[in-house]
Amino acid sequence: MFKKLKAHWKVNELNLLLIIATFALGGSLCGYAGRKILLLLNLEKGLAWILLYLLLITLLWPLCVILISIPLGQFSFFKKYLFKVWQKISGKRNRINIQKDIMNVAIFASGTGSNAQKIIASSFSGSNKSYRIALIVCNKPGAGVLQIAEKAGIPNLLIEKDRFYTGDNYLPELKRQSIDLIVLAGFLWKMPAPVISAFPKKIINIHPALLPKYGGKGMYGNKVHESVIANKEKESGITIHYVDELYDHGEIIFQAKCIVEENDTAETLAQKIHVLEHTHYPAVINDLAQKQNRS
């Protein structure tokens, strides 16, 4: 049970113990406070007393848990936890997820999330919002993209390799969020066949080179730029493409180019590529969303 809770809440063992302690102490505190309030009311024990007591502890419990969470260092967890509980009770989360006038996007990322941050910012900007980021999926605990998701108030999902490749591939979670498009933004795992089948031409990736050159297994990040420079290429760029069963192989959607100077290093070329990525990836997603929304 504890392993399941640890995985579900995405916390380590110490924080799991502190969370459980917060639940227990918060429950005790709200029970104590409820009885004290009833004593002040001089209400005789009976059905009315029981009903009022239940109402009081229901109202007091969130406040008591938040108070206890502060000294135990779990305020951030319980703030998000109570917000999710409120979404479920009010039905707000379901109403948001079933919006059909805009595209629901899941971003899969493994690192710092610079592309993800630009895509999120684009989804919030302008009056013509054609897509929203409904979920951030990450395979690395502590990755910077998770902090970006938290600051933006976007739900995140930390995935494990066994379940991703041999289990249900996290398809139930994607379905629950009504995902229309999966965007890979520095996600280093190969997408499993069941996910590709479930999202035909609904998964896109950005590659830091002009495919079909410099693609394939192991070709990512500075490895790509080093190969481009070693082969004395005059230009490089980005390729945005649909994802299929092979690395960097799906149908090309968009390409943009930059000049490779003689004195360029992998690092300076990477900076040029980042500018292209941050400029064009959100724009391509927006175009795809507008086409879907019109159909």
Tell me, what DSSP letter sits at residue 246?
Answer: S
| Per-residue pLDDT, 211 | 95
The pLDDT confidence band at residue 283, using thresholds 50, 70 and 90, is: very high
Question: Around Cβ 247, how many Cβ atoms within 10 Å?
Answer: 17
3-state secondary structure of 110: coil
User: For the segment 31-80, what is each residue's pLDDT rounded down to a tens digit?
Assistant: 999 898 988 888 788 888 889 989 989 999 999 999 999 999 888 888 88
Of 1-15, 134-148, 215-229, the least confident: 1-15
Is 268 in contact with 229 (CB distance < 8 Å)?
no
101-294: CATH topology is Rossmann fold (3.40.50)
User: What mean pLDDT, rounded, does the chain reach?
Assistant: 88
Is 229 in contact with 264 (CB distance < 8 Å)?
yes
Give the residue from 5, 138, 13, 153 showing the smallest Cα distance to 76: 153
Is 8 in contact with 84 (CB distance < 8 Å)?
no
Above 50 in pLDDT, residue 96?
Answer: no
Percent of the chain with pLDDT over 70: 91
Domain boundaries, the chain: 2-90, 101-294
Above 50 in pLDDT, residue 292?
Answer: yes
The pLDDT confidence band at residue 95, using thresholds 50, 70 and 90, is: very low
Above 70 in pLDDT, residue 107?
Answer: yes
Residue 142's identity, in one-letter code, is G
| Per-residue pLDDT, 99 | 47
Task: Write out the catalytic residue numbers.
Answer: 207
Question: Around Cβ 238, how many Cβ atoms within 10 Å?
Answer: 25
What is the pTM for the complete model shown? 0.67
Percent of the chain with pLDDT over 90: 60
Q: What is the mean pLDDT of residues 220-234?
A: 94
